[in-house]
Amino acid sequence: MLILNIALSVSLAATSTLAECADPPCMIRMGLWKQEPPAENAYVNSALRNFNRFAANPAFKMGADVGRNLNRIAGANAMAIMNHYDQAYYANISFGTPPQQTVVQIDTGSAAFWIGSKACNDVKNCNDLYPFDSSKSSTFMNISSGKPSNVTYGAGSIGGVMASDVMNWGSFTIPKQQFILVDYEDPTIFYQQNGTVSGLVGFAYQGGLQPTVSAMGYYETPIYSMVRMGMISQPLFSIWLNGSTTGGIQTMNGGEVIIGGVDPARYNGDIMYYPIVNVSKSYFWMVEITNVQIVGTLDATKPTAPLSITPLNLTTTYGLMDSGTSLITIDPNFYTLQLLPTLQKKSVGKPVTLTTDLNTGYTRVACTDAQRLPSIAMTFGGKGVSGSQPSFEITWQDYVLSDAQGCYLGFQAMNMKNTGEGNPVWIFGDVFLRKVFTVYDFGNGGRVGLAYAANTGKAFGVPLNAQSIPDVPSVKVDNATASTSKKSAAATAAGGWSFAATSAMLVCTIFALA
């Protein structure tokens, strides 16, 4: 699943680090690298020069050691993945014999694994970085039996043939990994690829280790292949995402995908596990949201000032963890009728002005007002989860982002009730996943683990010269209790897609159609 905010003048850079896994099955650590946004968006030539500089580096192609100690987990292995504008995360994977480099997006919200073909790019039907040339691989196999393979997202589609080939990812070698060799990208995907990424690798739950074939189809993902071949000690993976903090180009420490386990150094406290809901045939990493609260303060200049906690009215609502989504998408009714008004009301001082552009879906806020916004705390639960559960809180520093036009909230309204079988669905994308370490467990009946991430940087947010300390207001503390209010809600229109462009950003909303 993708919710991508793609700058029109972006370049990518990737490198890889290869190491040996001493005694399979083992746990493998995949390092994440990143490239952040520049201060301006109108610098295509400069961005391309930067990319070409990194692409020409032998370490980019050969996977030289990045110099980070990986010894704290037995068999750990770092492999380069990059943070693209704090909006997407990419991995460097090779295919074929001899190996050909590809750069793919890591996406926990979909399952298909696809790579653009050289033939498609040669005739300008695809627009990919490092397209795959099947004619140069001695181990490539077309396994389509003459049947085309098509993937339709909420916005955009690709088509091609089912194939298999040797895949190398870190110390893993999968002899016959299945993927779609793409021979067509529709205009949305073509523009989105922008010559900066080769394709996408999906990691959706798909019903678990004994998957149920749904209308979205079933794909043998690399994780499934690793479990089937006994390559990893536990049928799970975990993700730690880092933010850019200051902007500019950074090539280290963008985050990690850890396959086969978790790294205690990447989270604080205990991991809380929540069962995957039996909705949409359990295709997604989706859990129940039980409570949403706005947590404000009377004085932004005093960390010890009393808090004002305001619970919001929440019907049965699900949360979908999706590394392929840039922002947090929220049910439109909840977003416009509850969240935005309460953020304004509970801001420090006079209400902050929030303006939503109906064309782009962005909610804008003056950068100088951003730090007056309150925090948002979310609690998760589900069948079999008992006792008091911790809330996961995101502050204005987590959810306020910036671009050439100013500051905006890292949220968008989206109706996903089709996916929730009539109930609202929120998509927790990178805005949330940078704050919360996530575990994706195919075992134990299928569950998602959450804990506050450790040692992460913020996304490129409010420029320092735009921050100000607000006036201290005279407001009575709201002593509302932290409770959840449930009420019935009629299902409204089905989920869909939105597509809009501004002078600085292309906003695409893409999700697999059920």
Return the minimum-mean-pLDDT range out of 82-96, 103-117, 341-355, 391-405. Answer: 82-96
How sure is the predictor about 485, in pLDDT bands with cuts at 50, 70 and 90?
very low
CA 109/CA 424 separation, integer angstroms = 16
Residue of 86, 322, 369, 398 marked catalytic: 322
With cut-offs at 50, 70 and 90, classify the pLDDT of residue 88: confident
Does residue 245 have a pLDDT over 70? no
Domains, the chain, in order of start with CATH, read 2-259 (2.40.70.10), 266-472 (2.40.70.10)
pLDDT tens for each residue of 280-324: 889 999 999 999 999 987 665 566 666 788 999 999 999 999 999
Residue 260: per-residue pLDDT: 86
186 is catalytic: no
Q: What is the pLDDT of residue 387?
A: 82
What pLDDT, on the 0 to 100 scale, is given for residue 85? 76
> Cα dist. 403→6, 292, 359, 408, 451 in Å?
11, 28, 17, 8, 29
Question: Can you point out the beta strands (E) in 398-446?
Answer: 400-403, 406-409, 411-413, 425-428, 436-441
Average pLDDT, the chain: 76
pLDDT tier for residue 468 given thresholds of 50, 70 and 90: very low
CB within 8 A of 208, min separation 6: which ones?
Answer: 276, 282, 442, 445, 446
Give the pairing type, strands 113-116 and 172-185. Answer: parallel
- In the prediction, which pLDDT does 348 show? 87
- Dist CA 108 CA 320 (whole Å): 9
Please compute the mean of the pLDDT values over residues 476-505 and round it to a whole number.
27
Give per-residue pLDDT as tens, 103-152: 899 999 999 999 999 999 999 999 999 999 999 999 999 999 999 999 98
| Model pLDDT for residues 376-402, shown as the tens digit of each residue | 999 999 888 888 899 999 999 999 998
What pTM value is reported for the model? 0.80
Report percent pLDDT > 70 for the chain. Answer: 69
pLDDT for residue 510 is more than 80: no
Contact 318, 335 (CB under 8 A): no
For this structure, is 183 an active site residue?
Answer: no
Which of 107, 331, 369, 441 does the annotation list as catalytic?
A: 107
- Identify whether the C-beta of residue 32 lies closer than 8 Å to the C-beta of residue 83: yes
| Cβ atoms within 10 Å, residue 15 | 24
Which CA distances in Å does 339 have to 89, 275, 344, 373, 463?
28, 26, 9, 12, 25
Question: What's the average model confidence in pLDDT over 46-51?
Answer: 35
Sign of CA dihedral 222, 223, 226, 231: positive
When pLDDT is averaged across residues 240-263 and rounded to a whole number, the result is: 73
